[in-house]
């Protein structure tokens, strides 16, 4: 057996910009990749989504892209995909109804919690299958969403969470994300459900594990903030 060591520049590059890559090869790389992802998100997804393509196949990317598009149209017509779409459609109808019944009230509560008025704008919610977890604001007017209803008002609470990401698009610090979780995952959930406690709902932990420590540190200040009519959420984050 013999080992041959190779470098494929495309692969080295694509591997380093893959979104699952949380480490930096050197200082400044993160900034560089963030810039290209922000400017060309679709192209980056396509190129880096499965970065190994560049070493497994020697064909040009344009050939793969063309083939992929053809296959996509074929697959869309198959029975499993029809079933997937059918179930997603049913879920979308449920979600629409749920939001039409409870959305406005949730937004009112959110304005009370943030002590700010929410911008008048339309946000598109692209719905995916409810048994596959999804939930993300992908730009300043688009949310992708689909999730099991783990507890009462789950979708309402997390749609509000993603709306907050859109409102605070320009602040991506862990403090602002932790504050979003305090405001929506916790305070809003408890208000809507008229019961519950911070960081736990039934058998579920609430919020991202990584942020919970930050949130617990912020909590005393957050409780004071809620009782202080003179401070809004932006001021809370900035402090
Ligand atoms: Zn979030």
- Ligand 1 centroid to residue 61 C-alpha, Å: 33
Strands of 142-146's sheet in order across? 124-127, 142-146, 134-139
Tally of CB atoms within 10 A around 132: 11
The mean pLDDT of the chain is 92
Query: Two tokens at 1?
Result: 């057996």
User: Taking a C-beta distance cutoff of 8 angstroms, is the pair 139, 86 a contact?
Assistant: no
- Ligand 1 centroid to residue 46 C-alpha, Å: 24
The more confident residue out of 98 and 40 is: 98
For residue 21, pLDDT beyond 80: no
Residue 219: the pLDDT is 97
What's the CA angle centered on 66, arms 63 and 70, to 5 degrees? Answer: 135
Task: State mean pLDDT over 136-153.
Answer: 94
Sign of CA dihedral 136, 96, 158, 83: negative
Confidence of residue 53 (pLDDT cuts 50, 70, 90): confident
- Ligand 1 centroid to residue 85 C-alpha, Å: 26
For residue 60, pLDDT beyond 90: no
Sign of CA dihedral 34, 234, 175, 215: negative
- Ligand 1 centroid to residue 28 C-alpha, Å: 24
Residue 84: the pLDDT is 95
How many angstroms separate the Cα of 59 from the Cα of each of 9, 16, 125, 161?
Answer: 15, 21, 36, 42
Residue 123: the pLDDT is 96
Phi, psi of 93 (to 5 degrees): -65, -40
Q: DSSP secondary-structure letter at 186?
A: I
- Ligand 1 centroid to residue 36 C-alpha, Å: 22
> Pairing state of beta strands 124-127 and 142-146?
parallel
Phi, psi of 8 (to 5 degrees): -110, 110
Percentage above 70 pLDDT, the chain: 100
Least confident interval from 54-58, 67-71, 90-94, 116-120:
54-58
- Ligand 1 centroid to residue 130 C-alpha, Å: 18
> Pairing state of beta strands 124-127 and 134-139?
unpaired
- Ligand 1 centroid to residue 137 C-alpha, Å: 8
- Ligand 1 centroid to residue 29 C-alpha, Å: 24
- Ligand 1 centroid to residue 208 C-alpha, Å: 8
At residue 133, the 3 state secondary structure works out as: coil
- Ligand 1 centroid to residue 211 C-alpha, Å: 10
For residue 170, pLDDT beyond 80: no
Which of 50, 69, 70 lies closest to 10, judged by CA? 50
User: Taking a C-beta distance cutoff of 8 angstroms, is the pair 170, 153 a contact?
Assistant: no
- Ligand 1 centroid to residue 54 C-alpha, Å: 32
- Ligand 1 centroid to residue 214 C-alpha, Å: 14
- pTM for the full predicted model: 0.83
Q: DSSP secondary-structure letter at 118?
A: P
């Amino acid at each position: 057996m013999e080992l041959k060591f190779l470098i494929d520049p495309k692969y080295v590059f694509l591997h380093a910009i893959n979104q699952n890559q949380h480490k930096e090869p050197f200082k400044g790389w993160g900034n560089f990749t963030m810039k290209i992802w922000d400017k060309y998100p679709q192209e980056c997804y396509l190129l880096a989504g499965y970065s190994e393509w560049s070493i497994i196949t020697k064909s040009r990317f344009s050939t793969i892209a063309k083939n992929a598009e053809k296959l996509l149209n074929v697959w869309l017509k198959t029975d499993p995909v029809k079933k997937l779409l059918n179930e997603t459609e049913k879920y979308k109808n449920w979600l629409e109804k749920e939001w039409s019944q409870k959305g406005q009230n949730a937004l009112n509560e959110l304005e009370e919690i943030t002590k700010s008025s929410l911008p008048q704008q339309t946000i598109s919610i692209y719905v995916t299958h409810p048994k596959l977890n999804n939930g993300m604001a992908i730009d300043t007017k688009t949310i992708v969403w689909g999730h099991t209803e783990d507890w009462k008002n789950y979708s309402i609470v997390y749609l509000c969470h993603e709306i907050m990401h859109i409102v605070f698009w320009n602040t991506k610090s862990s403090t602002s994300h932790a504050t979003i979780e305090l405001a929506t995952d916790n305070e809003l959930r408890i208000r809507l459900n008229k019961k519950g406690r911070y960081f736990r709902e039934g058998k579920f932990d609430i919020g991202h594990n990584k942020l919970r420590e930050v949130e617990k540190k912020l909590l005393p200040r957050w409780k004071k903030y809620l009782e202080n009519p003179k401070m809004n959420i932006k001021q809370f984050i900035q402090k």
